[in-house]
Structure 1
Amino acid sequence: MSGDDIDGFMEGRLRLRQGRGHRAGHDAVLLAAATPPDVDGLILDIGAGAGAVGLMAAIHAPEARVGLVEINPQSCALARENIDRNGLAARVSVFEADILSATSRRAAGLLDGRAALVLTNPPFHEAARVRVTPDAAKARAHVAAAPLSEWVRGALALLAPGGRFAMIHRADALADCLAAVAGRLGGVAIEPIYSRAGAPATRILLRGVKGSKAPLALLPPLTL
């Protein structure tokens, strides 16, 4: 990080200014890396914050268009600034919308069933299970306003049939993640992520295909 609060990602290929609340790190890098380089349609980063995942995805897939979907106006402003900073305005747009609301999505210009790839790093915690910080920006980034299943339902509504989905979440939320995608995705693959060898997994990366009938797969683990 430099004196003007600019963070570097992808060995300096992406420069990002981040505000209060959630700050992108390993989770964003791992999720963005799930982007196939041959995507040439629309990629949506749901809950984009300042745009880290979607902007990295745009670099991974140079032929794709990318939409950063975010509800917080301040984060949307940062995302637009980061798009311009990295020279990606021709391919990346911001959609200020509530993913939980079909009306809000439509008002922002998001159409159901159009995305080739949806990436999401949803809020990890439920308000009833954690002590919620009084900092509204941080609370919005980390504490879900609705069950995970509703977030996933909104995200998958935007995904085209045969489109690909990727989500990173806490490892101890695996059961909730599988329940959220049940009947909506097939070919689900779970990749456990370990912070160090010999310790329990801290994250899981879940991938799947809308409309697929392929079975569940448990992938080899990744140790950071």
Structure 2
Amino acid sequence: MSGDPGLSHDAFLGGRLHIFQPIKGYRAGVDPVLLAAATPARPGQSVLELGCGAGVASFCLVARVERLLLTGVELQAFYAELARRNALENQLEMTVVEADLRHLPASLKERHFDHVIANPPYYERHRSTASEDAGRDMALAGETHLSEWIDVATRRLKPRGYLTMIQKADRLPDMLGACDNRLGSIRVRPIQPRLGRAAELVILQARKGGRAAFALEAPLIMHEGVSHKHDGDDYTPEAVKILRGGQALPWSG
């Protein structure tokens, strides 16, 4: 697979990880890196990633937190195989289950995890135009409703386990509406491209059985200034620590 001209070999976390992903099709950017940074995992805990794609979020997380027990669920065989390949490439261990998250195998339904993380498709199928690339289309606008992602995640969590999810900001009402009384201690962090710009992404975290009050965290500002004024990236120091240094995105409290 490493010689496949249809794949690129991309560095993440300042070169700590190298990931194979398709040149054409869905390609991981900063979103899974932010998702990993926001997950409050501790060494030795178990993590389930729903819709793991090529595995970027899980691998970024284990690059920061050692000895995690990683499991990924991925519907598309091509991306499931890429995740396995990337685990080998980076000398990491991850069990990748090829399955529809709505119809998980019995062996996975019997397990519960300290953390469930997810970067679900950002667009609703009936409101989006299909991509010519089937893999990209499924990743960006899948058939599974956001409420189903949250329900499956909640079922797979241990008591007091954490759900951490990144999504477009305009889907926040859907996310909050899907968090039923099994989840609490909900916190939301907006991801703002620049000062003076509206948030484009949000990270939601909820705890199974949590009872703390809802918290809206201060936004993470991704880029310096109010506009892009020169070639190259202009990430804020906080963003650089996460994207290049692999540091955590802390939550208050």
1:147 maps to 145
1:95 maps to 97
CA deviations over 1:176-222 (Å, ceiling 9, x no partner): 01011132311000001111111110000001110111111000111
Deviation at 1:63, TM superposition (A): 2.1
Structure 2 residue identity aligned to 1:77:
E
Q: Distance in 2 between matches of 1:146 and 1:12?
A: 34
Structure 2 residue identity aligned to 1:192:
P
Structure 2 residue identity aligned to 1:60:
R
CA deviations over 1:44-99 (Å, ceiling 9, x no partner): 1111000000111111220211112111111011111000000013xx21111111
2:11 maps to 8
TM-score (norm 2): 0.81
Deviation at 1:112, TM superposition (A): 4.5
Q: 1:71 to 1:9 in 2, by over 3 A?
A: same
Query: Gapped runs of 5+ residues in structure 2?
Result: 223-253
1:80 maps to 84
Q: 1:165 to 1:100 in 2, by over 3 A?
A: same
The structure richer in strand per residue is 1
CA deviations over 1:86-123 (Å, ceiling 9, x no partner): 0013xx2111111112xx332xx313451001110001
Q: 1:164 to 1:76 in 2, by over 3 A?
A: same
Identity rate of aligned residues, in percent? 36
Query: Gapped runs of 5+ residues in structure 1?
Result: none
Structure 1 residue identity aligned to 2:18:
R
Q: Distance in 2 between matches of 1:218 and 1:123?
A: 23
For the aligned residues, what is the CA RMSD? 1.5
Q: Which has the larger radius of gyration?
A: 2
Q: Distance in 1 between matches of 2:92 and 2:210?
A: 32
Structure 1 contact 99–155 (Cα < 8 Å) conserved: no
2:230 maps to none
2:39 matches 1:35: yes
2:123 maps to 125
2:67 matches 1:63: yes
Q: Distance in 2 between matches of 1:153 and 1:56?
A: 25
1:135 maps to 133
Paired positions, count? 216
Instruction: Extract structure 1 runs of 4+ deviating beyond 6 A.
Output: none
Structure 2 residue identity aligned to 1:5:
S
2:202 maps to 204
Structure 2 contact 44–68 (Cα < 8 Å) conserved: yes
TM-score (norm 1): 0.91
